[in-house]
A = this chain, B = another copy of it.
Amino acid sequence: MEQEGGIPRDSISNRVKKWISERILNGTYPPGHRLVELQIAHELKTSQGPVREALRELEASGLVESEPFKGTRVRQVSAREMQEAYQVRAFIEQHAAELAAFALRDNTSRLQSEIVAAHEAAEKGDIETFSRHNAVFHRQIVEASGNSILLRFWDALQFEIRSQVILSQEKFSPLEGEKLHQAIIDAFRNGNGKLAGRLLRKHLLGFADTIDSTHEASWVHAGRKSSTG
């Protein structure tokens, strides 16, 4: 049985949550934007309760922040925090790679197919699709580590990071990254988790270094480019 309009089969608060995060991630609601419970409730033809619940969950995941009696706003992630996030991601993945070495040995076809898909998207200039496949590639490694807590943290970071896309046009050189990705896959195929880990770490820390305070205003929100810089 299918629903008609919006997002199907889910509690209202969940639908609200998706609706809001979509708008945050695609830049409709920019950092600092105020989210008024009753206003959103009215817009979505529901009541305050589910909206409030959705906002609280988004707060837990770091996408918005709220103060008692003052309300909720889309969170502004500082350049510093962004760097920290990438540093943490770097060593999460390094560690995951070492743990995943056994599981991925001679078992890299799924990794490979993500890289292929990412490559195709990159050639078409489709950043959105490229990013998705790229993310899946990295996530698969953490998944293969077999440590669910590691994966939970990785997901949390990824979600938080997504709100501030890091691919400013100048830095977007997927071709270079591609060689590295291939090297990582090769390392896994040979069962060399240590090497794969080192490569991943280097890759991500390099990314972190490209984030500086001058970027803060010139980040690209998924979809549209903001030429605030």
- Which A residues are within 8 Å of any B CB, using their own CB? 11, 49, 52-53, 56-57, 60, 68, 81, 84-85, 87-88, 91, 95, 147-150, 153, 157
Supposing A11-B68, A68-B11 touch, asked if A88 and B56 sit within 8 A by C-beta, the answer is no
Chain B residue nearest to A10 in the complex (CB): B68
* Minimal beta-carbon separation of A209 from chain B (angstroms): 15
Q: How many copies does the complex hold?
A: 2
A84 touches B49 (CB 8 A): no
Least Cβ–Cβ distance between A50 and chain B, in angstroms = 11
**Cα A56 to Cα B49 with chains together (Å):** 13
List, in ascending order, chain B residues with CB within 8 A of A153's CB. 88, 153
Note all chain B residues with C-beta closer than 8 A to A49: 49
A-B contact pairs, 22 of them (CB 8 A): A11-B68, A49-B49, A52-B53, A53-B53, A53-B56, A56-B56, A56-B57, A57-B60, A60-B60, A81-B149, A84-B147, A84-B148, A84-B149, A87-B147, A88-B147, A88-B149, A88-B150, A88-B153, A91-B91, A91-B95, A149-B157, A153-B153
How far, in angstroms, from A219 to B157 measured CA to CA in the complex? 31
> Chain B contacts of A148 at CB under 8 A?
81, 84
The distance from the CB of A79 to the nearest CB of chain B, in whole angstroms, is 13
Task: Give A68's nearest chain B residue, CB to CB.
Answer: B11
Q: In the complex, A95 Cα to B89 Cα: how many Å?
A: 12
Given contacts A49-B49, A56-B56, contact A84 B150 (CB under 8 A): yes
Residues of B within 8 A of A91 (CB): 91, 95
Kindly state the separation between the CA atoms of A147 and B91 in the bound complex, as whole angstroms.
13
A117 to B91, CA, bound (A): 33
A100 → chain B closest CB, angstroms: 13
